[in-house]
Amino acid sequence: MCLVLRRLSSITSSFICLLLTVMGSNCRDDPQMPQVGQIIEPHTTEVGSFRVLRVIYSGPFSDVYLLGKKTNVNEKFAMKVERQVGNIRPVLKLDVFVLREMNTQTGFPRFIGAGQTPYYKYCIMELLGPDLSKLRRSLDAKKFSTTTALQVCIQTLQRLETLHDHGLLCRDVKAPNFAIGLESRASIIYMLDFGFARKYKDKNGVLMKPRPAAALMGTFLYAPMASHKREEQCRRDDIESWFYMACELLKGTLPWAHLYGVERHQLILEWKQFIRGSGRKEFLRGLPQQFDHILERIDSVSFFDRPDYRYLISQLMFAAEQLSIDLKAPLDWQKNKRLVRKAHWVGELGESNMASDLMRENSDLSTANDVTPVDVETWRVWDS
């Protein structure tokens, strides 16, 4: 009996390893992937060489490693790695492109270098702290203080304005895609993960016309209504996703967070429509009154319009003024250093999964998925 159990355990481990390999994730035993102690030498030789210290994160599309400078391992960086073969949706090329474009902009990770081997591609960038989702869920109340939330909302909106002014859409705005800086930069919010980014201007700077239909792109929890309807996304839609994220940071869990997006994305759309109608007052309860004006302004933006970022930020600043909030006050994680350490142990939220395949191939998914704990079940969808 014990022998059988051991055999089953071995088979299960092998299956999981195979599954992760197919999805593009790291299999720690794969000698072709970066190994602890290995020296990485980017094609950009002037940045020097790096030593692999450990795996930080292993996900469906890519893996992230902690690196140290070969000459000084205390000088640390992050390396994002993507397999050359068998990756369902290669995204690293987009990440590298956006990081290069935004390399001198405040609140975007500093691009260090990139390269490839016959087995994987990699991008080395500035090392950041935990993301906003993990920090929020590390708090007992599962929400930031109003002082911190308003500062974070302003910074994340500024990041979107900068990205948009460089001719790029994010199309996956959510708390896990924003992280804090380390040490002296802990008050700076950084934007990262640009695997769904898309240009919205052509090479002559002219706005591109919307396609007649588009993929359901983003994360169900935060996806704009246009995405649910499979319509082309624009700058307004990034701001709409930002609005849902902002409400979550201030209030805690969104009311549709318990819904299993693969099966219930239409119901999530109905929720988002409901909060614009008879459910608006209840949804906005507990939020600064300016959020009503913010949602109204977002919904008034047409496909080709540039969102009025200045107005939106001014509303957040007005909310802070009315609440006697100092927008230069220390943030929650600066006042409580333990919060950052705790966030490293919080599970992932909004991991990218093969949702579009599930939607096409599994019309009778088990309803057991519907009871996934709140703050865990969010799925990304892409055009296959």
Nearest to 166 by CA among 97, 114, 232, 91: 97
Q: 């994220």: which residue's tokens?
A: 245
**How far is 323 from 363, CA to CA, in rounded Å?**
49
The pair of three-digit structure tokens given for residue 361, joined into one six-digit string: 């191939």
Half-sphere exposure of 36 (CA within 13 A, CB side): 6
Residue 325 CB: number of other CB atoms within 10 A?
19
Strands 50-58 and 72-83: unpaired
Q: 């359901």: which residue's tokens?
A: 216
Query: Is 326 designated active site?
Result: no
CA distances, 190 to each of 49, 109, 152, 154, 165 (Å): 25, 7, 10, 12, 17
CA distances, 74 to each of 51, 67, 162 (Å): 11, 9, 32
Is residue 38 within 8 A of residue 51, CB to CB? The reply is yes
Residue 336 CB: number of other CB atoms within 10 A?
14
Residues β-bridged to residue 121? 82, 116
Q: Which of 95, 172, 238, 332 is catalytic?
A: 172
Enzyme catalytic residues = 172
